[in-house]
Amino acid sequence: MSNIQITLPDGSTQSVAAETRPIDIAKGISPRLADAAIAAKVNGELFDLTRPLEKDATLQILTAKDPESLEIYRHSTAHLLAAAVLELYPETQLGIGPPIENGFYYDFDRPTPFTPDDLEKIEKKMWEIQARALPYERVLTKKEEGLKKYSEAWMKCQLIDERAGEIFTEYTLGPKFIDFCRGPHIPDTSKIKAFKLLSIAGAYWKGDEKNKQLQRIYGTAFFTPKDLDAYLKQVEEAKKRDHRKLGKELDLFSIQELAGPGLIFFHPKGGIIRKLLEDWMRDQYLARGYSLVYTPHVAKLDLWKTSGHANFYAANMFTPIELDDAEYQLKPMNCPFHILIYADRQRSYRDLPVRLGELGTVYRYERSGTLNGLFRVRGFTQDDAHIFCRPDQVEEEVVNCLQFAIDTLAAYGFEKYDAEISTWDGGASGKYDGVAEQWEFAEGALRRATEKLKINAKVVPDEAAFYGPKIDVKLVDAIGRKWQLSTVQFDFTLPRRFGLEYIADDGKAHQPIMVHRALYGSIERFFGILIEHYAGAFPVWLAPIQAIVLPITDRQAEYGRGIQKQLEAAGIRSTVDERSEKVNLKIRDAQMQKIPYMLVVGDREQESGQVAVRNRKHADQGAKPLADFIADIHKLIESKAVTE
């Protein structure tokens, strides 16, 4: 047998017998490396540690430190899950079982659904198999043979049929489990140290609801129990911040069964926050050259036929309302209304850009299963604006929109964000409206705008809306979750459908470029994100109650009321807690309501004419004259500070 040359990452080379396995080389380097090894990278391709090396190659041994490792490890854990399911329920058919962002899942087809009790049983069985240190073995099978061998396994046949080459790889785990899989995997189950099955869900085969619905088991896995624990704690933390929970506890909003799902009621405390969000946005509109408009909530169905929504958006609209003269449609979008305003008079190139902004409430029929608190609702208000401009103005408009989006994020305390440009498929599928020239022009404008603003934007091909390319901004919240927020989208379709035009300097009519943009996205959703980002402890300028006066005994009640009157006069949202309760209790309640400032007043303060300031985050701040406190809090409010 001839020797092959293996080059390691440090540049050193070794000559080894062909068919040597990466794990052998790792052992040769150090037993500890062999022990820590998860997989190998051979000429840039991921390899099992036990897959023989056939020719000269560069070799990297992957350990838990390498980013690819966790995915491989989770993928292997998914196989372990499937093997356990097969041992317990041999009649089960296997779907797919990939690693995902925070773990893995495996899809199964079986006549009876899994129960939460099954999850426990399966987990136990997984540990049993884990203890056997079963190897993950790579098997090569011919396509023909495979199809014959698995003729009774319908999902496997489909996968082999669609994806397999002439020879495909399978991985076995113990006597029963074998799966069509590209790999690679960890050497054996003893490497798996920490995992947990999390939930059961229905999922359609290949994600298509026309297909059979399978049973999906979600789980997660980490290299150490400590990491798993940390992850589960983070999930707990996210639960504590759940805006639905906080919305109830802080009395911000509700959804009323009698009124219908997906429809939001803003309570007084949520209402004041909404008012502030709206004011901020309207002020920004006016400061940035937008015009404010107001449009109706319904319009004749004919409008939606002209816009095309009655056709392609029908599934997401409330059904039309029959009146005596015509059918009316609750609006799912603001665009056609803004277009009507644009088209209501003749426009000169000198009038452009026309920027029409509105906080427009729209109603969309979302399937009941997709509704989710404030995040996905059936009635919501978009901070929607449409810009109609000349081609030579496009780039500046896009830059301004993106700058506006970034300023919005900063104003609410979001420091990190991602951007994504969604482009078309080059016209290959024919599913996109407009011509190549338009797409290239618009996509170029988006790209140049991100370069100019030094925004790192990922380009995602074939993800655009059918009517034009777009850029989406995703924020990263306090606990690292990403939320899709702002969007800037070109629209090649509506200007054409409505015959929009302006008279250019050549005296001829031209079609304006139309840009949709929403920065909060939806006020409801943005509110929900804010609740979770701040865990309900809103910045002082947004806090529904900014200060609460806490008299220690009834003797200071009147003094306390006087303080509150002065706060009110200074424009500070405040209350007094006059209950005959201990100050400890009042503080506890105020803390739980996340009120930024508690002004404790006892005999001492009354005599000196001061207030003892307690901050919700920094506790006791000592006594000071009320005027000083008012000056301090005014500074925070005026600067819209996100810390205090």
Partner RNA sequence: GCCACCCUAGCUCAGCUGGUAGAGCGGCUGAUUCGUAAUCAGCAGGUCGCCGGUUCAAUCCCGGCGGGUGGCUCCA
Task: Point out the catalytic residue in the list 75, 241, 355, 516.
Answer: 516
- For the bound state, the minimum distance from the C-beta of residue 75 to RNA, rounded and expressed in Å, comes to 17
Q: Read off φ and ψ for residue 473, nearest 5 degrees.
A: -110, 125
Q: Which of residues 114-133 bind RNA (CB under 7 A)?
A: 115-116
203 makes contact with RNA (CB under 7 A): yes
Beta strands in 81-190, from DSSP E residues, in sequence order: 93-94, 99-100, 103-109, 136-142, 167-173, 177-180
382 makes contact with RNA (CB under 7 A): yes
**The one segment of 40-48, 170-178, 260-268, 636-644 that binds RNA by CB under 7 A:** 260-268
Task: Point out the catalytic residue in the list 48, 384, 491, 577.
Answer: 384
Cβ nearer to RNA, comparing 113 with 225: 113
What is the contact mask toward RNA in residues 572 to 611, using x (rule: CB under 7 A)? --------xxxxxx-xx--xx-----x-xxxxxx------
How many of the other CB atoms lie within 10 Å of CB of 277? 20
**516 in active site:** yes
How many of the other CB atoms lie within 10 Å of CB of 483? 19
Q: Measured between alpha carbons, how far is 442 from 520 in angstroms, rounded to an integer?
A: 23
- For the bound state, the minimum distance from the C-beta of residue 385 to RNA, rounded and expressed in Å, comes to 13
Alpha helices of 132-242 — where are they, by DSSP H? Answer: 143-149, 154-163, 225-240
155 makes contact with RNA (CB under 7 A): no
525 makes contact with RNA (CB under 7 A): yes
How many of the other CB atoms lie within 10 Å of CB of 167? 11
What is the contact mask toward RNA in residues 2 to 21, using x (rule: CB under 7 A)? --------------------
**The one segment of 33-41, 128-136, 359-367, 498-506 that binds RNA by CB under 7 A:** 359-367
> Is the distance from CB of 514 to CB of 570 less than 8 angstroms?
no
User: What's the Rg (C-alpha) of the chain?
Assistant: 31
3-state secondary structure 305-327: HHHCHHHHCHHHCCCCEECCCCE
Q: Which of 240, 248, 416, 565 binds RNA (CB under 7 A)?
A: 248
- For the bound state, the minimum distance from the C-beta of residue 629 to RNA, rounded and expressed in Å, comes to 12
Look-up: residue for tokens 């819209």?
A: 640
- For the bound state, the minimum distance from the C-beta of residue 381 to RNA, rounded and expressed in Å, comes to 9
- For the bound state, the minimum distance from the C-beta of residue 379 to RNA, rounded and expressed in Å, comes to 8
460 makes contact with RNA (CB under 7 A): no
Q: Measured between alpha carbons, how far is 519 from 541 in angstroms, rounded to an integer?
A: 20
Cβ nearer to RNA, comparing 388 with 597: 597
Cβ nearer to RNA, comparing 392 with 603: 603
- How many angstroms separate the most distant Cα atoms in the chain? 98
482 makes contact with RNA (CB under 7 A): no
367 makes contact with RNA (CB under 7 A): yes
Cβ nearer to RNA, comparing 26 with 82: 82
The angle subtended at Cα 151 by Cα 147 and Cα 154, nearest 5°, is: 100
101 makes contact with RNA (CB under 7 A): no
Task: Point out the catalytic residue in the list 335, 378, 525, 564.
Answer: 335
Q: Which of residues 298-357 bind RNA (CB under 7 A)?
A: none
Cβ nearer to RNA, comparing 90 with 116: 116
Cβ nearer to RNA, comparing 190 with 370: 370
3-state secondary structure 513-537: EEEEEECCCCHHHHHHHHHHHCCCC
Task: Point out the catalytic residue in the list 382, 489, 556, 593.
Answer: 382
Q: Read off φ and ψ for residue 96, nearest 5 degrees.
A: -115, 160
Cβ nearer to RNA, comparing 178 with 613: 613
- For the bound state, the minimum distance from the C-beta of residue 518 to RNA, rounded and expressed in Å, comes to 6
491 makes contact with RNA (CB under 7 A): no
620 makes contact with RNA (CB under 7 A): yes
How many of the other CB atoms lie within 10 Å of CB of 481? 15
Cβ nearer to RNA, comparing 42 with 552: 552
359 makes contact with RNA (CB under 7 A): no
**382 in active site:** yes
> Is the distance from CB of 328 to CB of 300 less than 8 angstroms?
yes
**470 in active site:** yes
Task: Point out the catalytic residue in the list 79, 243, 338, 386.
Answer: 386
477 makes contact with RNA (CB under 7 A): no
> Is the distance from CB of 203 to CB of 85 less than 8 angstroms?
no
**The one segment of 112-120, 163-171, 225-233, 285-293 that binds RNA by CB under 7 A:** 112-120
Q: Which of residues 540-569 bind RNA (CB under 7 A)?
A: 552-555
Q: Which of residues 207-226 bind RNA (CB under 7 A)?
A: 207-209, 213, 215-216, 218
**The one segment of 14-22, 34-42, 256-264, 432-440 that binds RNA by CB under 7 A:** 256-264
> Is the distance from CB of 545 to CB of 571 less than 8 angstroms?
no
**The one segment of 37-45, 151-159, 222-230, 482-490 that binds RNA by CB under 7 A:** 482-490
> Is the distance from CB of 332 to CB of 317 less than 8 angstroms?
yes
Cα distances (angstroms) measured from residue 644 to each of 84, 86, 412, 434: 52, 56, 14, 50
Q: Measured between alpha carbons, how far is 251 from 259 in angstroms, rounded to an integer?
A: 18
**634 in active site:** no
Site size toward RNA, by CB under 7 A: 73
DSSP 587-625: HHHHHHTT-SEEEEE-HHHHHHTEEEEEETTTEEEEEEE
512 makes contact with RNA (CB under 7 A): no
Helix (H) or strand (E) holding 3: strand 3-7
Task: Point out the catalytic residue in the list 41, 191, 364, 594.
Answer: 364
**208 in active site:** no
Q: Measured between alpha carbons, how far is 443 from 458 in angstroms, rounded to an integer?
A: 13
499 makes contact with RNA (CB under 7 A): no
Q: Which of 21, 138, 309, 364 binds RNA (CB under 7 A)?
A: 364
- For the bound state, the minimum distance from the C-beta of residue 2 to RNA, rounded and expressed in Å, comes to 48
What does DSSP assign to residue 579?
S
431 makes contact with RNA (CB under 7 A): no
Task: Point out the catalytic residue in the list 470, 517, 586, 614.
Answer: 470
**The one segment of 111-119, 143-151, 224-232, 559-567 that binds RNA by CB under 7 A:** 111-119
Q: Measured between alpha carbons, how far is 512 from 514 in angstroms, rounded to an integer?
A: 6
Cis previous bond, 67, omega within 30: no
> Is the distance from CB of 638 to CB of 623 less than 8 angstroms?
no
Q: Measured between alpha carbons, how far is 385 from 495 in angstroms, rounded to an integer?
A: 15
Which sequence positions are flagged as catalytic?
A: 335, 364, 382, 384, 386, 470, 516
